[in-house]
Amino acid sequence: MTTLSITELSKELRHAIEQLETTGSLDEVGIVMRVGDGVAWIHGLHSAGYSEVLQIETDDGIVEAFALNLLEDEIGAVLLGRDMGVKAGQTVRLKGTVLDVPVGPELLGRVVDPLGRPLDGGPAIKTKQRGIVEREAIGVMGRKSVHEPLMTGIASIDAMFPIGRGQRELIIGDRQTGKTALAIDTMINQAKQKTGVINVYVAVGQKLSKIARLVERLKQEGVMEQTIVVATSPSDPASLLYLAPYSGTAMGEYFRDNSQHALMIYDDLTKHAVAYRQMSLLLRRPPGREAYPGDVFYLHSRLLERSAKLSDDLGAGSLTALPIIETQAGDISAYIPTNVISITDGQIFLETDLFYQGIRPAISAGLSVSRVGGAAQTGAVKAVSGSLKLGLSQFRELASFAQFGSDLDASTKQQIELGQRLTELLKQPQYQPMSIWQQVASIAAVTRGYFDEVAPSKVKDAQAALLTKLWADHKKDMQELEKGGKPTDELYAVIEKTARSVVKGFAG
């Protein structure tokens, strides 16, 4: 506790005594009946509403809780913090507000908990505004269809599964398949391409060491100034894990509502559902499939509905969401994965097999999809990647035949080689998001046949040589390409000429 100066304390005390004289109105009160496992059961407070904040008067100050179970003659309230100090018989009051958190640009660059308290050792956060944690989603009339790109900087996503601002694209895969890596690269790309998009990264029950490393990396890459990290660790009470995504969304909504663009990353919603299941069981709600409560679908649907592209009347801001889901042994038909798949506008599916074959990012071309991003794809990338997905899936099919070693006709062989080159091309190391011109030039080189002589194992080297040479000799043209418009024939000619000049060293 802070030591107070005598003058300060006596001023407070005199003020308190003055207040004693002004009689106010009666407060509604209840009492704690029992408490345990982070849940307090309260008698009284008949006018309490769902998600309303309650204040419990303990010997050691006031502890806050929020009402989640409103029963006939008792209230189940989840404590926002540890339950030490809360005892049966203590007085409970209504705070008179639903849960809210500080929101605004003051949070940028900070690491906070789900109640907006700093975790980074920095100064206290003072914002002009607060946002409601459980805010309702924008209605139909306030929305517009998704039409601007949100570039991830990952060539295979931007080319085959483009994401638009306001879209909700799920990242799904087993543990250790590079899910978080995709999200981080996307955040980094917002700084690299200077898109101005604000990142809000919500860590649900992640090791603090992991979060610290992430923040360190974001600082190093120069992205932290446009990022807010909402962090919860496995040792936090389930109530905080449960709140984290909603609080983070409230922080992101501030930017959406002020004509800016924000990107939400929920890492991950599987742990979020587990925290909610734990809370629900402690609140003695009836368990359903996989012991989740009946309303677990609503848990994520109401969260993800808050992502939107706003209409011009509302300022045309956007909130894009990249929720992450962890699967067990690639099973996307389990309860939580199917729920979230049905809520989102597409998914990027990461496969363990691909990951261990060294194909990273391990994106499955067949099982991934983006349902609304096509309309938002950057023109330049769209122009060169039309045949990409088809080429890749045909290749996977043919490759399984080719295993039998039978004689293949020339055209099949050619297709297989093209597939191999594409697969190599789309490999991309971590922390190296690609800009638009890099993506366009690389993809064009393979799909338009400029690299036909290059051995698949040398595609990456050829690509690097091409990009270096293009930037050295044709910087102006590449800057033109970076603007995102459809490439002109002259531009293609420049890429072709340069590509053909570098292939010689990389022939098979």
Partner 1 sequence: MAKRLSRRILAAHLAAAVEDGDAKKAVKQLAAHLIETRRIKEADLIVRDAEQQLADRGVVVGTVVSAFDLSSAMQSALQTMVKKETGSRQVTLVYRSDPSVLGGFAIHLPGKQLDRTIQTHLTTLKTRFKKA
Q: Would you name the residues annotated as active-site residues?
A: 371
Nearest-angstrom CA–CA distance, 449 and 396: 19
Contact 299, 273 (CB under 8 A): yes
Contact 78, 58 (CB under 8 A): no
Question: Using the 8-state DSSP alphabet, how is residue 80 labeled?
Answer: S
Task: Decide if residue 7 touches partner 1 (CB under 8 A).
Answer: no
Q: State the binding partner of 176 from ligand ATP, Mg ion, partner 1, none, CB within 5 to 8 A by kind.
A: ligand ATP
**Binding track, positions 437-466, relative to Mg ion; x by CB under 5 A:** ------------------------------
Site residues for ligand ATP, 344-363, by CB under 6 A, read 360-361
What sign has the CA pseudo-torsion 457, 435, 106, 94?
negative
Q: How far is the CB of 16 from partner 1 (least distance, A)?
A: 4
What tokens appear for 219 in the block? Answer: 């600082």
CA 117 and chain centroid, separation: 21
In the list 6, 17, 140, 329, the residue contacting partner 1 (rule: CB under 8 A) is 17
Site residues for Mg ion, 369-408, by CB under 5 A, read none
Task: Decide if residue 429 touches ligand ATP (CB under 6 A).
Answer: yes
Nearer to partner 1, 16 or 140 (CB): 16
- β-strand pairing of 261-267 with 52-58: unpaired
In the list 180, 318, 339, 438, the residue contacting Mg ion (rule: CB under 5 A) is 180
Site residues for ligand ATP, 364-423, by CB under 6 A, read none
Q: State the binding partner of 45 from Mg ion, partner 1, ligand ATP, none, CB within 5 to 8 A by kind.
A: partner 1
**Binding track, positions 179-208, relative to ligand ATP; x by CB under 6 A:** xxx---------------------------
303 contacts: CB under 8 Å, gap ≥ 6: 245, 246, 249, 266
Nearest-angstrom CA–CA distance, 193 and 208: 29
Q: State the binding partner of 295 from partner 1, ligand ATP, Mg ion, none, CB within 5 to 8 A by kind.
A: none
Nearer to partner 1, 1 or 141 (CB): 1
In the list 14, 29, 97, 290, the residue contacting partner 1 (rule: CB under 8 A) is 29
Give Rg (Cα) of the chain: 27
What DSSP string describes 450-473? TTTTB-GGGHHHHHHHHHHHHHHH
Q: State the binding partner of 12 from ligand ATP, Mg ion, partner 1, none, CB within 5 to 8 A by kind.
A: partner 1
Contact 57, 94 (CB under 8 A): no
Contact 325, 270 (CB under 8 A): yes
What sign has the CA pseudo-torsion 381, 387, 390, 396?
negative
Chain residues in the site for partner 1 (CB under 8 A): 1-2, 4, 12, 16-17, 19-20, 23-31, 33, 43-46, 57-62, 72-73, 91, 93, 124
Chain residues in the site for ligand ATP (CB under 6 A): 173, 175-181, 326, 360-361, 428-430
Chain residues in the site for Mg ion (CB under 5 A): 180
